[in-house]
Structure 1
Amino acid sequence: MDLVIEIAGGPGGTSAAVYRALRAAITDGRLPAGHRLPASRTLAADLGVSRGSVAVAYERLAAEGHLTARVGAGTYVAFSAPPDRRSGVAPDPLRPRADWSFTPEPSSGERPAPRVDLRSGIPDARLFPFDTWRRLVAAELRLRANGPGTYPEPSGHPALRAAIARYLGHSRGLRAGPDEVVVTNGAQHAVDLIGRVLLKPGDVAAVEQPGYPPARRLFASLGARVVGVPVDEEGLVVSALPGHARVVYVTPSHQFPLGRAMSAGRRRELLDWARRRPAAIVEDDYDSEFRFSARPLDPLRSLDRWDRVLYVGTFSKSMLPAMRTGFVLAPPGLRPALVAARQLSDGYGPAAIQAALARFIDEGQLARHVRRARRAYADRHARIVAALAGQPRLELLPSAAGLHVTALLRPGGPAPARILAGARAAGVAVEDLRSYGTDVDGLVIGFGAVDPDLLDEGLATLTALL
């Protein structure tokens, strides 16, 4: 790696200037302990000075203990000095906008996994066919290593857009062509693009309450006024929607986190509400692949005759979160703006990964993996329901899909904080329903990431705490 330092003027000539620049790089932490410096000949050529000037600077720094020379191995930084903060300068002089208050939370991968992992939304990586995926990715990387070095399309690899359109036609009954698909880095990226092209500061974005916190935070970060709308047994309460909402974000196939599906009547009511005003519906169909009972209701998108619905999907649940691939089916009038927003925000996605995913879908590998995972998740879902259905202090909410179940805590039992603390102490991770924007006590119990051999132990811990 090239070493970039600025040779400023001063007393002592060139060798002294090189010495001061290197010493400053060491003392302010740019050159950490153990860092190997370039050979004196190489650095001299890079700086446009004589080799002797660099050699003298190295010798002086070594004499002071800043550098150490290893015979036959090179010259290394001997120690790391604490950063030299300039005196008289206020710490952190730059501040974000007043309404940018969201602090990133540690991801599930940044923290040690609990022994019994009952967190929601995490699929089981042990079920994923890594050997097949590795073969497809390697093949695409070989192809593209010998191809032209052009920038991919911001809307996504053409083969993947076509594969997604076909897959949705088979799995969700959606009629869509490749030109309607915009590939994104996951569902959150899709919602971000939608917010960018539809919302201006001060516009109202309606979200389910309780609901998915990242969507609420994202709309707020764009300057929108976010309004929570209650959810009942039939789904989002349409009559409670603010009449001037520009965007309505919903999870109708498997409401997050309560788990209910929006009724057919409520779906028609929501579409009619949007038809009568300039409002868009963002349908997040995040885990509908994992259905354990009856056939799911048709997506809102399939019932939409007025181009009001933007259908968002992701492969984070059906495959892996690290895949970071999702998509949005957009009405014709919005697609060009979404593609432009994609190009402005991050340009394009990884072409080789997208091409491999297209082959993964078209070879039937995704459908095969989903069937296998669905059987595994259905077994875990049934075990949770069987273990908790008879608990007098719990009310299990109906759930026939997804990777979690939700249970309300009836009055008179232990406080939720006590249950959660006891679970943590026993190595069981479970989520508090209140963290999703409700004042109702309850537990959100995921079963995607848990080791099946430890599931019964985790359920026994919860029932004992209850």
Structure 2
Amino acid sequence: MRETLFQVERQQMTSLQVQIREMLVSAMLSGQMPAGSPIPSTRTMAKRLKVSRNTVMLAYQALAADGYLQSRERSGFYVSEDVRRGAMERATASSGGGVATNHSTVDWNKRLRLTPASQRNITKPANWHEYPYPFIYGQADAALFPIAAWRDCTRQAMNRKWMDAWTSDLYNEDDPMLVEQIYQRILPRRGIMADKEQILVTLGAQNALYMVASLLIKPTDKVAVEDPGYPDMRNIFAMKTKNIVPVPIDGEGICIDEHLKGCNFVFTTPSHQFPTNITMSADRRRELLAWAEENDALIIEDDYEFETNYNGEPTPALKSRDREGRVIYAGSLSKSLMPGLRMGFVVAPKQLIGELRALRRLMFRHPPGNNQRVVSLFLALGHHDALINRLHKAYQARWKTMGSALEEYFPGWAKWPGFGGTSFWVEGPAALDTNALQTAALEDGIIIEPGQVCWADPQAVKNERTNYFRLGFSSIPEERIRPGLERLHELASRQLRGQGS
């Protein structure tokens, strides 16, 4: 048991015996001393606290009488197995109302400068993998991952000759091998020609985007976001400025119209628009870049899912057309490797990368060295390329199965994404309430994601756009897609019939 758990203050008005009882009760109720665990002997505790052994014994006996401790012959005292049952009532009784708790008397509403917990976010069941029909976005299918290859790369990274790569504090540097692999293998696929000094490794694309926003967005700036769009990015911008401008999208991507007037920044997901999966056309890309040049604006490009194109070659990134350094590019390996790895990168002009590197040092110095080296080896040995090919085959099959099943069970509700992605954006009849449908579906083992949160204005969508939802297929086996959608169709039909639609 950690010694820091146990301390008494001789200057307090309460007796040492009461302080010992309060200290132990607090540790038990907080879980620091779990049920069944032994507590220090009276001799040891008395020595640690510099009090008499008799004082400790009286405190232990009182706690045993109240049901907190159990005395075992020739073994000592142990935390009671039912210590949390009726805990607060016993705590008050045992200490005369003076038990120390984890309750804070601070008025945090006055202290907090920001309240990100109040923002609207996409929510997903933590145990999603236990559901038979997880139509959930952004998660991986463990059955497709080459665990043996990853284990081999991990074993190689642990080689003594590479110990410095993952045991040393790199301060604000990256693993040079990983930067080399991003430079040689990842960026050329996106048509991006950049120097190594223009690359920074991050804890996923989200971390890259947060740091970019922290450095660049001022309270007076106007930031254009796609609508519907990525809620997390909209929330990040909202903590930097109140001037968030929702911009509609059409079949070619974000619209270049009067909404952009006066904007300093544009955030876009051109490869597969979040959440509709629309791929920005070449003409729209040229138009957006021309607008940025004419208005001295910057473009923040989140190029997620660029590896999931099934019709033809991947579209070159918007960054690949950038000739003035106006596009800040954020990429991620989360979708192709594993979301939990949190490995991403940002490509930008050297001066900005230098400031991002300095900011990252203040936050967490650098991503874990062992993860960087393992990913480096995974890329260098060709395992990532092989995994991409495997994912393409599996995802393309699921893409086709889901598309045909949607046409059968939900005709006219969804459009096939033009180039791929790992989800379908679905628009049901206006009377459909996808929040209620989500609740009913969960009870039937089906996970869907209501799309209401993707629109920027919470008031405008309060009683509108409840008929949109997203269906992901990256984490559900192909053979479960059709049965799951059939059951979802039954639930949706039942709801619509009940509403007379």
**TM-score tier after normalising by the smaller chain length:** 0.7 to 0.9
Question: Match of 1:94, as an amino acid?
Answer: W
SS at match of 1:248: strand
Counterpart of 1:3? Answer: 3
Shift of 1:53: 5.9
The more displaced of 221-230 and 40-49 is 40-49
Structure 1 position 121, deviation (Å): 2.3
Superposition pairs for residues 73-92 of structure 1, below 5 Å?
A: 73-78=75-80, 79-80=83-84, 81-82=87-88
Tell me the alpha carbon deviations over residues 142-177 of structure 1, each in whole angstroms, 9 at most, x when there is no partner: 549965953124343221121111122442222223
Bigger shift: 313-322 or 383-392?
383-392
Task: Note the C-alpha offset of 1:350.
Answer: 1.0
From 147, 153, 160, the equivalent of 1:136 is: 153
**Structure 2 partner of 1:67:** 69
Is 1:25 paired with 2:28? no
Once the two structures are superposed, what CA deviation does each residue of 1:225-244 show, in whole Å capped at 9, x if it has no partner?
22211101111112244333
The Cα shift of 1:423 comes to 4.0
* CA contact 2:267–2:301 (8 Å) conserved in 1: yes
Q: Which residue matches 2:261?
A: 243
1:295 counterpart residue number = 313
Percent identity between the aligned chains? 30
Give CA-to-partner distance per residue, 1:181-211, whole Å, 9 cap, x none. Answer: 2111111111100011101234222110011
1:109 matches 2:126: yes
2:116 is the alignment partner of 1:97:
no
State the distance in 1 between where 2:447 and 2:297 align: 39
Which residue of the partner structure matches residue 479 of structure 2? 453
Q: What number of residue pairs does the alignment pair up? A: 461
Tell me the TM-score normalised to structure 2 length: 0.82
Deviation track 1:337-377 (CA, whole Å, cap 9, x = no partner) reads: 11111112222211111110000011011110111011000
Distance 1:346 1:393, change over 3 A: same
Deviations 1:44-94 (A, max 9, x none): 45445566765565456556654334356543233343266879x996621
- Per-residue Cα deviation, 1:419-450 (whole angstroms, up to 9, x for no partner): 55654454322233333217554332211111
Do residues 118 (structure 1) and 132 (structure 2) align?
no
What's 2:287 paired with?
269
SS for the counterpart of 2:306 is: coil
More divergent stretch after superposition (164-173 vs 51-60): 51-60
Q: CA contact under 8 A between 2:128 and 2:134: conserved in structure 1? A: no
> What 5-or-longer segments of structure 2 have no aligned partner?
456-460, 494-501
Give 1:328's aligned amino acid: V
The reply on whether 1:362 has 2:380 as its aligned counterpart is: yes
Structure 1 residues 255-282: Cα deviation after superposition (integer angstroms, max 9, x where no partner): 1111111111111111122223342211
Give the equivalent residue in structure 2 for 1:197: 215
Q: Is the 8 A contact 2:223 2:237 kept in 1?
A: yes
8 Å contact from structure 1 (residues 284, 312) kept in 2:
yes
Other-structure match for 1:387: 405
Greater displacement, 37-46 / 400-409: 37-46
1:258 aligns with 2:298: no
Q: Deviation string for 1:318-350 (max 9, x for gaps)?
A: 111111111111211201111111112222211
CA distance change for structure 1 residues 111 and 429 in 2, over 3 Å: closer, same or farther? closer
Q: Which amino acid aligns with 2:8?
A: I
Shift of 1:451: 2.2
* Secondary structure of 2:260 counterpart: coil
Is the 1:183–1:326 Cα contact (8 Å) retained in structure 2?
Answer: yes
Q: Which moves more between the two structures, 165-174 or 203-212?
A: 165-174
Alignment check: 8 A CA contact 1:68 1:75 kept: yes
State how far apart, in whole Å, the 1-side matches of 2:50 and 2:436 are.
68
Separation in 1, partners of 2:43, 2:157: 42
Classify 1:167/1:46 alpha carbon distance in 2 versus 1 (closer, same or farther; 3 Å).
Answer: farther
Q: Give the deviation of 1:134 after TM superposition.
A: 2.3
More helix by share: 2
Distance 1:90 1:41, change over 3 A: closer
Residue type of the alignment partner of 1:227: V
- 1:398 and 2:400 equivalent? no
Are the equivalent residues in 1 in contact too, given 2:202–2:343 (CA < 8 A)?
yes
Q: Check the 8 A contact 2:378/2:384 in 1, yes or no.
A: yes
Provide the C-alpha distance between the structure 2 equivalents of 1:458 and 1:104, rounded to a whole number of angstroms.
25
Quote the offset at 1:285 in angstroms. 1.0
Change (3 A) 1:73 1:349: farther
In structure 2, what is the equivalent of residue 320 of structure 1?
Answer: 338
How far is the alpha carbon of 1:36 from its aligned partner?
2.6
Q: Is the 8 A contact 2:121 2:231 kept in 1?
A: no
Mapped to 2, the partners of 1:52 and 1:414 lie a distance apart of 70
